[in-house]
Amino acid sequence: MSIDAATHRTLAIDANKSTWEILGKPVNEITDVETEEMTRRAYAAAYHWQRAEGTGPANEARASWLLSRVWVVRNNGEVALQHARNCLSVCESAGLVDFDRAYAHESLARSYACLGDTDQARTHLLLARDVHLSDPEDRTIVESDISSEPWFGLEL
């Protein structure tokens, strides 16, 4: 059975939103079963975005960001860092700035915090906050996400 690009887009959006049904919960309330389900949903979103109608570098960067966040919640900094680095790499190679660049640095900061590298975590957290965001609503969204856990004891 072949799935057309429009259907992939719909599935990508659904998988992304459904990942947040779990990821949006307080970390200490996510069960082991939900952790596995959240991970599967995030990978499904990345898979479908790769094949979706109208997909572009921002979709790839955001899929990598989502995977990084999931692996941080799973307390696996090494895998989280791989996805965070991919997110930043896509931003740099595609010239993505603003919102996506802020999130790339946020994911790196969180990944380094998970690994216990507070110096790198602080550096990337500052870089995330220093990204110029042309839309004040985007700044509110970024700061809201930054204020959410887990940060593994890193002072914000």
Residue with the larger pLDDT of the pair 8 and 1: 8
Question: What global pTM score does this model have?
Answer: 0.96
Neighbour count for residue 116 (Cβ, 10 Å): 12
- Do the beta carbons of residue 40 and residue 66 sit within 8 Å? no
Amino acid 82: pLDDT: 98
Q: What is the mean pLDDT of residues 87-114?
A: 97
pLDDT above 90 (res 34): yes
Q: Tokens 């959410």: give the residue.
A: 148
12: containing domain = 5-146
Q: What is the pLDDT of residues 66-95, one digit of tens each?
A: 999 999 999 999 999 999 999 999 999 999
CATH code of the domain in which 20 resides? 1.25.40.10
pLDDT tier at 156, thresholds 50, 70, 90: confident
Distances (CA, A) of 49 to 8, 9, 16, 36, 120: 7, 6, 9, 20, 30
Nearest to residue 9, comparing CAs of 40, 43, 41, 50?
Answer: 50
Residue 10 belongs to a domain: yes
| Residue at 151 is within a domain | no
Q: Domain for residue 20, yes or no?
A: yes
How confident is the model at residue 1, as a pLDDT?
Answer: 74
Question: The tokens 């952790």 sit on which residue?
Answer: 35
Percent of the chain with pLDDT over 90: 97
